[in-house]
């Protein structure tokens, strides 16, 4: 196991050193992949799932984020997603989201590749100007009919009718991936492919406890990539990291530019 080159939490100096070392490396590599989690949206006022005031500390994922829960009580599930949509609609992307959009532009300007893989369904990366995102867990602004399967964008918050109905009369469900469901086929393959050919992978604001997403850093490592973690707290893949930047992504990511 490779020991992380700089992980000394109390010495901000080290974080500064790591930031300048990582910034230099990012300016030299032809391919960068980033994986983001709920932590990148925390500074925008969106609660994480497992953090101190995390959603799963207050709500039961089994009662709200599974196909069984929806079959059992679609209204309850939609009340929760409607509440989250209203919260997200009032939120703004933060410095972390904008920094990644800028990093992508700079990579494109030097004919390098930049892949943004996100576990987030909040759409804040899109609103910050990021493009061609690989959304592993779907999108809270998409709805899909459980009858005819039609998928459409719906940004109504709050929703007039709970649960909302499709034109065919059947219930609409949130366009997100629930526990026990498959990740969107093409999206997952493209994420694995990007990680298996990247030179640097940034893993930002995720506890790296939910698979298969948390396994992507290992794919990148096994392919010889360097891994950088941005998180104020330890995550499930710190042992894979070459750089660990202990801090808030909204503060650290802009400094990588
Ligand atoms: N900047 C960077 N990281 C942060 C910040 C911040 N400002 N605030 C919190 N974090 C970190 C936390 O320390 C934690 O490690 O973000 C992480 C959030 O972890 P989780 O709440 O577990 O969220 P995530 O990893 O995205 O969850 C994965 O689980 O519930 C499912 O589908 C849901 O996509 C989600 C998946």
Question: DSSP characters for 176-227?
Answer: EPPTTSPPPHHHHHHHHHHHHS-SEEEEES----STTGGGHHHHHHHTT-EE
At residue 17, the pLDDT reads 87
Splitting the chain (257 residues) into consecutive groups of 10 residues, what average pLDDT does each group show?
A: 44 75 96 98 95 80 91 95 97 98 97 97 98 96 98 97 96 96 95 98 97 98 98 96 96 97
The pLDDT value recorded for residue 13 is: 53
* CA–CA gap between residue 257 and residue 20 (Å, rounded): 10
Ligand 1 atom 5 nearest Cα: 39
Q: Is the CB of 59 under 6 A from ligand 1?
A: no
Compute how many other C-beta atoms are within 10 angstroms of the C-beta atom of residue 18: 24
With a 6 Å cutoff on the Cβ, whether 183 touches ligand 1 is no
Looking at residue 63, its pLDDT comes to: 86
Question: 88: CA distance to ligand 1 center in Å?
Answer: 16
C-beta of 207 in contact with ligand 1 (< 6 A): yes
């Amino acid at each position: 196991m490779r020991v992380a080159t700089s992980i000394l939490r109390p010495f901000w100096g080290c974080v500064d050193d790591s930031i300048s070392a990582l910034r230099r490396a990012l300016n030299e590599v032809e391919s960068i992949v980033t994986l983001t989690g709920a932590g990148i949206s925390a500074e925008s006022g969106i609660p994480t799932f497992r953090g101190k005031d995390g959603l799963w500390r207050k709500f039961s994922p089994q009662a709200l984020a599974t196909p069984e829960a929806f079959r059992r009580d679609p209204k309850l599930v939609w009340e929760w997603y409607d509440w989250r949509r209203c919260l997200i609609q009032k939120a703004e992307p933060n410095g972390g989201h904008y920094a990644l959009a800028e990093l992508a532009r700079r990579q494109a300007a030097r004919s390098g590749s930049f892949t943004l893989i996100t576990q987030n369904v909040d759409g804040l990366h899109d609103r910050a100007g990021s493009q061609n995102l690989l959304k592993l867990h779907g999108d809270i602004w998409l709805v899909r009919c459980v009858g005819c399967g039609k998928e459409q964008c719906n940004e109504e918050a709050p929703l007039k009718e709970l649960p909302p109905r499709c034109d065919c009369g059947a219930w609409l469900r949130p366009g997100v991936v629930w526990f026990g469901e498959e990740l969107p086929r093409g999206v997952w393959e493209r994420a694995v492919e990007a990680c298996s050919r990247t030179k640097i992978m940034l893993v930002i604001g995720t506890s790296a406890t939910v698979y298969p997403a948390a396994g992507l850093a290992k794919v990148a490592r096994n392919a010889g990539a360097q891994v950088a973690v941005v998180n104020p707290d330890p995550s499930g893949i710190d042992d894979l990291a070459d750089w660990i930047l202990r801090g808030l992504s909204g503060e650290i990511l802009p400094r990588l530019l």
